[in-house]
Structure 1
Amino acid sequence: MKTLCLAVTLATQSLPGLAQDSNPDTGAATRDWASTGDVPEALRDARCIKCGGTYLDPLRNEDRSKSPERSDIDARSTSSEIREGTAEFTGGVEVTQGYRRLSADRATLDRDQRSGDMEGNIVLREPGLLLQGDSAHIESESGEASLTNSQFVLHAQHMRGTADLLERDSEGILHVHNGRITYCAPEDNDWMIRASELELDTEEGLATAYHARIEVADIPVFYSPWLQFPMDDRRRTGFLWPDFGSDTKGGVDISVPVYFNLAPNYDLLYAPRYIEERGFSHEATARYLHPLVGSWEVGGAWISDDKSYADDFPDDSHDRWLMLVRQKGLFADNRLRSTIDYSKASDVNYMKDLDSSSLDSRRRTALLQLGSLDYLGDRWLVNLEAQQFQSLADDISNDYKKLPQLSANYRPDGTPFEFSPIVFAQYSNFDSDDNRVTGARLYSEAGAAYPMQWSYGFLRPTAKYRYVTYDLNDHASFPDNNPDTGSPMASVDGGLFFDRMTTLVGKNMLQTVEPRLYYLYSGYEEQTDQPDFDSAELTFTYNQLFRETRFSGHDRIDDANQLSVGLTSRFIDAEDGREEFYASIGQIFYFRDREVRLGRAQPPLDNGDSELAGEIGFFPMENFSIRGSAVWDPYSDQMNSSNVIASYTPGGNTIVNVGYNYRRPLTTINENQNDTEQAHFSTYLPLSRNWRVFGAINYSMEANTSVEDMFGVEYDSCCWKVRLLHLRYYDNDTTGPLTDFNDPQLEREKSIQIQIVLKGMGGFGNRASSLMRDMIRGFVDSEY
Structure 2
Amino acid sequence: MMKSRKMRLRSTLAALALSVALPSTPPPALAQSGPAQSAATTLVADSVRTTGPGQIEATGNVVVLHDGVRLSATRLSYDRTNDTLEIEGPITLTQNSGAVIVLADAAELSTDLSEGIMQSARVVLDQQMQIAAAELNRVGGRYTQAAKVVASSCEVCLARPTPLWEIRAQEMVHDAEERQLYFSNAQFRVMGMPVFWLPRLRMPDPTLDRATGFLAPRLSTSTRLGKGLRVPYFFRLGDHADLTVTPFVTSNTNTVELRYRQAFTKGRIAFDGAVSDDDLLPGRARWYLFGGGQFEVGRDFRLDFGIEQVSDESYLTDYDYSDTDRLESHVALSRTRRDEFILAGLTQYETLRADEIDSSGELPFGQAEFLYERRYDGTMGGGGFWQVSGDTYWRESEDPVGGAGRDGARLSFAGEWRRDWVLAGGIEAELRGRVDADSYWVWQDDSAFTTNSAHITPTAGVTLRYPMSRTTDSGALEVLEPVAHLAWTDRVGADVPNEDSTLVEFDETNLFSLDRFPGQDAIETGSRAALGLTWTRFNPTGWTYSLAAGRVWYNQDLDQFSTVSGLSGDASDWLVAGQVQLADRFALQARTLFSTEDSINKSEVLAMFQNDRFAFATGHIWVDADPAEGRDAPVHEWSWDSTLQINDNWRASADWRYDLDLDNLTKAGLGLEYSNECVSVDLSLSRRFTSSTSVKPTTNIGLGISLNGVGGRRGSRGATCAR
Q: Give TM-score scaled by structure 1 length.
A: 0.77
Deviation (angstroms), 1:420: 1.6
Structure 1: gaps of 5 or more residues: 1-7, 15-66, 311-316, 736-745, 765-780
Q: Is the 8 A contact 1:307 1:318 kept in 2?
A: no
Query: Residue 317 of structure 2: SS of its match in structure 1?
Result: helix
- Counterpart check, 1:150 vs 2:158: no
Preserved CA contact (<8 Å) 1:629 1:642:
yes
Match of 2:415 in 1: 446
For the Cα contact (< 8 Å) 2:543–2:583, is it kept in 1? no
Residue 216 (str. 1) matches residue 190 (str. 2): yes
The separation in 2 between residues aligned to 1:120 and 1:375, in whole angstroms, is 65
Cα distance change on mapping 1:456 and 1:204 into 2, 3 Å: farther
Q: Is the 8 A contact 1:422 1:449 kept in 2?
A: no
Equivalent residues of 1:684, 1:692 under 8 A apart:
yes
Conserved 8 A contact 1:537-1:550 = no
For the pair 1:590 / 2:564, whether they are aligned, the reply is no
User: Following TM superposition, by how much is the alpha carbon of 1:75 offset from its aligned partner in structure 2, in angstroms?
Assistant: 5.5
The corresponding residue for 1:547 is 513
Structure 2 residue 135 is matched with structure 1 residue 176: no
1:84 maps onto 2:53 in alignment = yes
Q: Which amino acid aligns with 1:588?
A: V
Change beyond 3 A, Cα 1:216–1:524: same
User: Partner residue of 1:195?
Assistant: 169
Aligned-partner residue type, residue 565 of structure 1: L
User: What SS does the aligned partner of 1:536 have?
Assistant: coil
Alpha-carbon distance in 2 for matches of 1:598, 1:637: 18
Q: Distance in 2 between matches of 1:473 and 1:489?
A: 30
Shift of 1:389: 0.7
Q: CA deviation at 1:250?
A: 1.1
Counterpart contact for 1:437–1:531, Cα < 8 Å: no
Q: Please say if residues 556 and 598 of structure 1, whose CA atoms lie closer than 8 Å, have aligned partners that are also in contact.
A: no
Query: Which runs of structure 2 are paired with 1:1-40 in the superposition (5 Å)?
Result: none
* Cα offset, 1:263, TM superposition: 2.4
Task: Confirm whether residue 533 of structure 1 aligns to residue 499 of structure 2.
Answer: yes
Of the candidates 623, 631, 638, which is equivalent to residue 599 of structure 2? 638
CA distance in 2, matches of 1:734, 1:706: 19
Partners of 2:301 and 2:333 within 8 A in 1: yes
Deviation digits for residues 308-360 of structure 1, max 9, x if unmatched? 223xxxxxx61112234412111224x21111111211112221123x24xxx
Q: Structure 2 CA distance, aligned partners of 1:511 and 1:68?
A: 70
Offset from partner CA, 1:262-306 (integer Å, 9 cap, x none): 22333322222223312x2223333343347x32335542224x2
Determine the structure 1 residue equivalent to 2:85: 116
| One-letter amino acid of the counterpart of residue 511, structure 1 | E
The residue number in structure 1 matching 2:268 is: 295
Structure 2 residue corresponding to 1:607, chosen from 530, 554, 569 = 569
For 1:665 and 1:352, the matched residues in 2 are separated by: 26
Which whole-Å CA distance do the structure 1 matches of 2:705 and 2:298 have between them? Answer: 46
After superposition, residues 435-584 of structure 1 pair within 5 angstroms as 435=398, 436-452=405-421, 458-478=428-448, 480-503=450-473, 507-525=474-492, 527-528=494-495, 530-574=496-540, 578-584=542-548
Q: 2:653 aligns with which of 672, 678, 694?
A: 694
Q: What CA distance in whole angstroms lies between the structure 2 residues aligned with 1:144 and 1:417? A: 81
Question: What is the aligned partner in structure 1 of residue 325 from structure 2?
Answer: 365
Q: 1:762 to 1:252 in 2, by over 3 A?
A: farther
RMSD: 3.7
Contact 1:260/1:267 (8 A) holds in 2: yes
Q: Distance in 1 between matches of 2:608 and 2:336?
A: 39
Among the aligned pairs, what percent are the same residue? 21
- Are 2:92 and 1:131 aligned? no
The one-letter code of the counterpart of 2:279 is K
User: Does residue 706 in structure 1 map to residue 676 in structure 2?
Assistant: no
* Amino acid across the alignment from 1:695: A
Residues in 2 aligned to 1:782 and 1:449: alpha-carbon distance in whole angstroms: 57
Q: Is 1:320 the equivalent of 2:286?
A: yes
Out of 407, 411, 416, which is 2:371 matched to? 407
Q: 1:408 to 1:671 in 2, by over 3 A?
A: closer
SS of equivalent residue, structure 2 residue 674: strand
Q: Is the 8 A contact 2:656 2:669 kept in 1?
A: yes
Q: Which amino acid aligns with 1:710?
A: G
Q: CA deviation at 1:754?
A: 1.4
- The one-letter code sitting in structure 1 at the alignment partner of 2:146 is V
Work out whether residues 594 and 604 of structure 1, in 8 Å CA contact, stay in contact via their aligned partners in 2.
no
Counterpart among 350, 373, 377 of residue 390 in structure 1: 350
What is the CA-CA distance between 1:402 and the residue it aligns to? 4.3
Report the equivalent of 2:259: 285
Residues in 1 aligned to 2:446 and 2:72: alpha-carbon distance in whole angstroms: 95
Distance 1:604 1:193 in 2: 67
Kept after mapping to 1: 8 A contact 2:504/2:565: no
- Do the aligned partners of 2:41 and 2:112 also contact (CA within 8 Å) in 1? no
Q: Following TM superposition, by how much is the alpha carbon of 1:782 offset from its aligned partner in structure 2, in angstroms?
A: 8.3
Q: Which runs of 5+ in 2 are unaligned?
A: 1-5, 13-35, 399-404, 719-723
Q: 1:626 to 1:223 in 2, by over 3 A?
A: farther
Counterpart residue number, 1:678: 637
Instruction: Indicate how the Cα distance of structure 1 residues 665 and 233 shifts in structure 2: closer, same or farther if over 3 A, else same.
Output: farther
Q: Distance in 2 between the 1:338 and 1:387 partners? A: 14
